[in-house]
Amino acid sequence: MKIVVAIIKPHKLDEVKAALEAFGVQGLTVSEASGYGRQRGHTEVYRGAEYTVDLVPKVRVEVLVDDADAADVVEVIVKSAQTGRIGDGKVWTVPVDDVVRVRTGEHGVDAL
Amino acid sequence: MVSTVAFLSFAAKPDTGDTAWVLASAALVLLMTPGLAFFYGGMVRGKNVLNMLMMNFITMGLVGVLWVIVGYTLAFGDGGALVGDLNHWKLNNTSGLSGTIPVLAFVMFQAMFAIITPALFTGSIADRIKFGPFLAIITVWSLLVYSPIAHWVWSPNGWLFKLGAEDFAGGTVVHANAGAAGLALAIVLGKRKGWPREPMRPHNLPFVLLGAGLLWFGWFGFNAGSALGAGRTAALAFTTTSTATSAAMLGWVLVEKIRDGHPTTLGAASGAVAGLVAITPACAFVTPFGSIFLGLLAGGVCALATGLKFRFGYDDALDVVGVHLVGGVLGALLIGFLGSKKAGGANGLLYGGGFTQLGKQAAAVGASVVYSFVATLVIALIVKAIFKGLRVSEEVEVEGLDINLHAETAYETLTGGSVRASVSAAAPKADAEVSA
C-alpha cells in the first residue's frame, strides 16, 4: 500500500476531491498547511513598511491506496490541481507498512 | 472650548437642548476608547491583542475614578495659570451651571477626554510593557500631565488660554500631548525584540476598520460636543469633522497608491483617524471648504510621517507619533493659516490675519509638546526604577502578553492543546447544575 500526499492550492481542493471521488477513492484526509516552494512567498505593505511573507497557505490532501492504484491517483490529482502557474504544489507517494480499520480491526488492503 | 466658569445660581435652569447634546456627546466620546482598543488591537499580533484591549479598557476604569476624585479639579478648578486648585475635588461645588448646562454634564464630557488621552499612547508601548508599571504611569500621567495641560489651554485662568491660543476640541491637549508622551515612552521602553527586522503584521485588519469606524462616529461627540451647546458652532464643528476626515482618508490612500502601489484598508482607516486628529483643534475655526485642505494635507503628511520611526530608530509600535503627534501639531498650526473669522476663530495667514495667530498656535502646541515629552520621560524613568524595569521578560514577549499577563488567549488556535476544566471548590459542580 501507499499513501499519496498532495500539497495543492486551496482553491483547487473541490476539483481534486471531485476527481478522486470519480476515480473511486473511498476516503481522504485534508488539512490546512503553509509553506513555500520555488515561488517563495509574497510581499505585503503596512503603512509603508514592507513585509515578506515566506509561508503561503496551502491544502494538504492524503489518500491511502493500493500499490496498483498509486500512479493513477497521482495522475488524477495532478490533472485536477493544475493551473499551469507557479505555486501549483507537489504530489508524492510513500510506502505504507500496514493499515488498520479501527471499527473492525481489519488489516492491510481490506482496511482501505 | 468656551469658558467653563461655573455660575452657582441655583435658580437658573439648564438649557435642555444643550444639556441633552452634551450628555449624548459624552457617551459618544466614551465609545471612542473601545473603538481605539479595536483600532489598535487589530494592529498588534494575535498573541497580544487582549493586552492591548485591556490597556484601553482599564483606562476607562482607572481614569474614570481618578477624574472624579481629583483630575477634574486639577484641570478645571480656578487655581492659577498652571494648574487648578482643589476646590472641586470629589466633585465638591459642582451642583450649579456651566454656561447653559449643568456643571456635572461638563465634568462627565471632560472625563471621557481624560480617559481617551492616555489610552491613545498605548499604541506606542504595545507588545512589551508590564501591566503594573503601565497602571502606575497612567495614574501619575493623568494627574501631572493631562490635567495641567488641559488647565493651560481650556481653563479661563490657564496661561495658554490667556495667550489666545485656539484649541477647540483638543488637538494640543489630547493629541499632540498623547503623541509626545508616546514618543517618550517608546524611547524609555526600547524596541520590541526583533523590530524592525522581524515581521509584526497586523493580525486582524477588520478589527482595525471596525475601530476606526467607531472612532469616527464617536468623534462627532468629541468635536461637535465641544461647543457645549446644540447650536451653530456644534453644526459647524460637525461639518468640518466630516469633511476633513473624508479628505484625509483620500490623502493617505493617494500617498500609498503612489508610494507602495496599492490602496490599503489599513491606510484608509489610518487616514481617517489622521484627519480626525488634525481637524480636532480647528473644527470650529475653519470653513467647511478650508477643512478639506486641512484633511487632505493631514492624510498625506501623516502617511509619510509613519516612516519617521524607521529613520530615527524608535519603536513607536502603532504610530502614535506619526498620527497623533504629527496630526495634532499640524492641526494646531493650520489654524494659524486656515482660521477664519467667518467660521468663528481669528483670521489666519491665508485669510489676511498675518502671523499673529500662527505664533500663538506654535507657542501653545510647542510648550505642551515639550512639557509632555519631558514630564513623561521623568515619570517613566521613576516608575521604571520603582518597579525594577518596565518591560516583560524576553520569554514573555516572545510567548505573548495575553497568556502571561492575563492568563487568557483571544483565539482557540493560540491555546496550543486541548482545554480541560479543573474543578475547584469555588466553582459549582456540573452535577449540581443539572439537578438544579
Q: Which residues of chain A make contact with B258, given a CB cutoff of 8 A?
A: none
Let me know: does B44 contact B56? Beta carbons within 8 Å.
Answer: no
Say whether B260 and A52 touch across the interface (CB within 8 A).
no
Mean pLDDT for each 10-residue chunk of chain B (436 residues)?
Answer: 50 92 98 98 97 98 98 97 96 95 98 98 98 98 98 96 95 97 98 90 97 98 98 97 98 96 96 98 96 97 96 96 97 95 90 92 97 98 97 95 96 66 58 45
Tell me the mean pLDDT in the region A25-50.
Answer: 88
| Cβ of residue A48 closer than 8 Å to a chain B Cβ | yes
Type of residue numbered A90: K
Cα diameter, chain A: 59
Q: Which residues of chain B make contact with A48, given a CB cutoff of 8 A?
A: 256, 259-260, 303, 306-307
The DSSP result for B1-62, as a single string, is ----PEE--TTS---HHHHHHHHHHHHHHHHHHHHHHHHHHHHS-GGGHHHHHHHHHHHHHH
d(C-alpha B336, C-alpha B354), whole Å: 9
pLDDT of residue B425: 56
Closest CA to B322 of B63, B43, B45, B135: B43
Distance from CA of A43 to the nearest CA of B (A): 11
Type of residue numbered B366: G
Residue of B nearest to A47 (CA): B267
Distance from CA of B316 to the nearest CA of A (A): 13
The residues pairing with A53 across neighbouring beta strands, listed in sequence order, are: A42
Q: Which residues of chain A make contact with B266, given a CB cutoff of 8 A?
A: 46-47
Let me know: does B37 contact B116? Beta carbons within 8 Å.
Answer: no
Let me know: does B301 contact B349? Beta carbons within 8 Å.
Answer: no
- In this predicted structure, the answer to whether residue A100 has a pLDDT above a threshold of 70 is yes
Nearest to A48 among B199, B202, B306 (CB): B306
d(C-alpha B410, C-alpha B50), whole Å: 6
Residue of B nearest to A45 (CA): B260
pLDDT of residue B19: 98
Nearest to B264 among A45, A52, A53 (CB): A45
d(C-alpha B382, C-alpha B144), whole Å: 13
pLDDT of residue B433: 46
Say whether A52 and B199 touch across the interface (CB within 8 A).
yes
Say whether B303 and A47 touch across the interface (CB within 8 A).
yes
| Cβ of residue A53 closer than 8 Å to a chain B Cβ | yes
Return mean pLDDT, chain B. 93
Global pTM exceeds 0.90? no
Distance from CA of B217 to the nearest CA of A (A): 23
Distance from CA of A19 to the nearest CA of B (A): 31
| Cβ of residue B196 closer than 8 Å to a chain A Cβ | yes
Task: Give, for B136, the enclosing helix (H) or strand (E).
Answer: helix B131-141
For residue A91, give the 3-state DSSP assignment: strand
Q: Which residues of chain A make contact with B261, given a CB cutoff of 8 A?
A: 45
Residue of A nearest to B318 (CA): A47
Distance from CA of A83 to the nearest CA of B (A): 26
Question: Would you state the cell numbers that stand for residue A51, as one nine-digit string?
Answer: 513585509
Residue of A nearest to B307 (CA): A48
Task: Mutate one of B200, B252, B260 to test the A interface: name it (highest A CB count within 10 A).
Answer: B260
Type of residue numbered B194: G
pLDDT of residue B45: 96
Distance from CA of B49 to the nearest CA of A (A): 18
pLDDT of residue B418: 59
Q: How many CB atoms lie within 10 A of CB B136?
A: 19
Q: Which residues of chain B make contact with A47, given a CB cutoff of 8 A?
A: 266-267, 270, 303, 306, 319, 322
| Cβ of residue A32 closer than 8 Å to a chain B Cβ | no
Q: Which residues of chain A make contact with B260, given a CB cutoff of 8 A?
A: 45, 48, 50
- In this predicted structure, the answer to whether residue A18 has a pLDDT above a threshold of 60 is yes
Return mean pLDDT, chain A. 92
pLDDT of residue B202: 96
Task: Mutate one of A43, A46, A50, A55 to test the B interface: name it (highest B CB count within 10 A).
Answer: A46
- Complex ipTM over 0.90: no
Say whether A45 and B303 touch across the interface (CB within 8 A).
no
Let me know: does B97 contact B7? Beta carbons within 8 Å.
Answer: yes
